[in-house]
Amino acid sequence: MKSLLASQNPLADTGFQLEVLSQPTALGQRFKGFGQRLKEHGLFPLKPTGISILQVNVGKMCNQVCKHCHVDAGPDRKEIMTRATMGYILQAVAATPEITTIDLTGGAPEMNPDFRWFVEELSLLGRQVLVRCNLTIILANKKYHDLPEFFKKHRVHVVSSLPYFTASRTDTQRGDGVFEKSIKALQMLNAVGYGQEGTGLELDLVYNPAGAFLPGSQKSLEKEFKQRLLQTYGITFNQLFAITNVPISRFLDYLISAGNYDAYMEKLVTAFNPVAAANVMCRNTVSVGWEGTLYDCDFNQMLELPVESRAPRHIKEFSAEALKERNIILNQHCYGCTAGAGSSCGGEIAS
């Protein structure tokens, strides 16, 4: 189901054309469109700096239904990337040496029936494979119990969401019993070497705020997470990524139903940081939808805003040179990536 943002966000624009998608309201009159804000800092139109990361959504099926999920993923979602589409991706990666990282997302990417084949093929190309694992999938069914060993074999970089180091806050955001399962899965990953010094097996955690506010200092949060997880559960990990919740999909629905939408947008807009804006992830990343459509970022993918029409729009037509000439499509949710220290799939982008 398409997000409510395009129809209910009074600040929406499409970036290059600055097209207003809805009628202005009092909020829209108080704040400038995101494209106009970039123009004031010499960043409009926003252009790519390269393509070093290909982020691939291999399907929206998931064993969890998290309240903040911008993908609106869940067990009932049927959208799954086919092996044929994966084949186009492999061709694009093989032909583009500057792509050094393949970032696999979902849903739970491991639920795609061709997930392991895809990881193996990507590994043969000598690129870094990053998997956004929700942790509980490892315990969801015994066919997934060997995922830590599989990840280790292919030197997969594991990035996992853990909203907090206590059960109450984690389960509130991600569902009853998720914290206990996540801790067990982290211990299993640690047992094969993930997050352990000297192994080179990277295990990073992701923190998202549980409500309508911006994350605190990533450095401080990482220190606190490391202390509490080690002391209480004996768990170690490499880095913590603090990511701002972007007002789309389930989180947007929550903001509207709770009456917090205007206040949250005001926080994002007033916290705009031009340093973060200059380093947003869409400048070095291309996102691939489960059916092969190309997007500037994962958030645009969920809003069904593909790359601009003069650029290749499907992975089978992939051309790094053509894509580097495109103008990045913008909308008011982009304020989520440029507020405060900034936010990307790798956490803060401005210190």
Q: Which of 288, 217, 279, 286 is nearest to 59 (CA)?
A: 288
Half-sphere exposure of 309 (CA within 13 A, CB side): 2
Separation of alpha carbons 136 and 185, rounded Å:
7
Total domains in the fold of the chain: 1
Containing structural domain, residue 156: 49-259+283-319
Whether residue 328 lies inside any domain: the answer is no
Residue 339 to residue 244: CA distance in whole angstroms:
8
Q: Counting every residue, how long is the chain?
A: 351
Does residue 266 form part of some domain? no
Tell me what the mean pLDDT of segment 14-33 comes to.
44
Q: Please report which helix (H) or strand (E) contains residue 7, including its range.
A: helix 5-8
Look at residue 276 and tell me if it is in a domain. Answer: no
pLDDT confidence of residue 31: 66
Residue 3 lies in a domain: no
Condensed to tens digits (0 to 9), the pLDDT of residues 277-305 reads: 999 999 999 999 999 999 999 999 999 99
For 237, counting Cβ atoms within 10 Å of its Cβ (0-12 exposed, 13-18 middle, 19+ buried), the class is: buried
The beta-carbon contacts of 306-309 under 8 Å, at least 24 apart in sequence, are: 308/16
pLDDT > 90: percent of the chain: 81
Is 4 inside a domain boundary?
no
DSSP summary character for residue 184 = H
When computed from its CA atoms, the radius of gyration of the chain, rounded to whole angstroms, is 19
Of residues 20 and 190, the one with the higher pLDDT is 190
Does 16 map to a domain?
no
Does 332 reside within a domain? no
Give the domain CATH number at 116: 3.20.20.70
User: Which structure tokens are listed for 296?
Assistant: 């500037």
In tens, the pLDDT along 55-64 reads: 999 999 998 8
Band of the pLDDT at 163, cuts 50, 70, 90? Answer: confident
For residue 30, the model assigns a pLDDT of 56
Within a domain: residue 11?
A: no
Q: Which is it for the CA torsion 291, 289, 13, 51, positive or negative?
A: negative
